[in-house]
Amino acid sequence: MSLIRACGTALSAGDRRSGTAAIRNALGGMIGSGARIELRTRQVHVVGELALISNDATVSGVRPDGDPVISSSTEVARRGRDGSWRYVLDDPYFSL
C-alpha cells in the first residue's frame, strides 16, 4: 500500500475506490491470501512530476483452479518530495 498516495484511486471492473483505506479494504482478501503480482513494464512516459505507466501483469494465487490472472494495466504516478513515486490512479485492466 506504500505505493499508493493517500488521495489515490484504484479502478477495477467498474468499481472505483479512492484513498488508501478504501483501496486496502478492496484488495484485503487478495493481499491476505498470499497472492503474488508480477509486473513487466511495457511503457513509461515521464513529464515533470507525473508518470504514465503501462505494465503486463500476472497475478498468481487468486483463482481456485490455480491459473494466473493476466492483464495489461495502466497507472499514473506522482513523484513525491522525497523523490519516491506513488500511484495516483491504478487501473489493472486498462491497456494503452
| Run means of pLDDT, 10 residues per run, the chain, 96 residues | 60 74 76 84 96 93 87 92 90 72
Computed from CA positions of residues 25, 29, 31, 35, in that sequence, does the dihedral angle turn out positive or negative? negative
Can you give the pLDDT at residue 4?
59
pTM for this predicted structure? 0.73
Q: Are 88 and 77 in contact (CB under 8 A)?
A: yes
pLDDT the model gives residue 8: 66
Which pLDDT belongs to residue 5?
Answer: 57
What residue has cell string 490512479? 89
